[in-house]
Structure 1
Amino acid sequence: MILGVPNKLQSQFRLTYNMILNLLRVEALKVEEMIKRSFSENASQSQLPEQQKRVLQVRLSSLSLGGRELKKLPKLECETCLQDAHLYYDFSAEYVHLNKKILELAGTGKLVSGRVVVLRDTVRFPGL
């Protein structure tokens, strides 16, 4: 998403002045909609909701599969191991949360080439 190259918009046909006049007579279809439909990107945008449903299905199935696999594992009985496992889980969950926040920032255009980012850490000195 950050380093990807955007798709080129390529029109499928030539839109003429007469076509626009004919569209103005028909109130059901707007000129903007007709121009939008002329681009090949429209086909991929129309498939987007279906792709999002598929991603959600895959995520849900992997979660249910992971839950079944976890139930098969023996439970930890060592208190020291259990504390370490909980600590590891907490750090992992925080890592996932922070990674999502960074990707959201990258998606909004705040993390772009040429911009200086200052990282502040309570333990170490600030860095670039």
Structure 2
Amino acid sequence: MKIYNKKIFVSGIFMVILGALNLVTSIVRNDLDISAIILIIALFAFGVGALIRSASQRMMREDKLEDLDERNRFIELKSKSKSFRITQSISFVLMILLLVMGKVYGYERVIAMAAGLAFAFVISMLTEVFTYMYYESKN
């Protein structure tokens, strides 16, 4: 059996191993419930599907064409940009809420959590500025 897409093959092996470990752990602990069964079946199904996909030359070509498609790249770029903006907004709102809660109720730990979010927010803003400058200088 020849492997045409090593990245998908490794992810398939990882999912199968994860499913097997989850099955063994659930049996040893004796806590095999419906959610564990669904997770194990999903891990095995996706893992075996990835292994089959990695061994097929035709499917490898389809994956390469899909990866190189400009529309897919544009959609991925837009979704990552939007998710970054949403994450920035959520962290800013949470930071403000935690600062207000910490000040009103006098909890220093809540203020420390807000400071951590403020630090993460500043890092995301600086990253955005520096990447903008980098790509602006390339054009």
The TM-score normalised by the length of structure 1 is 0.30
More helix by share: 2
Asked which structure has the greater CA Rg, the reply is: 1
Higher relative contact order (CA closer than 8 Å, sequence separation 6+): 2
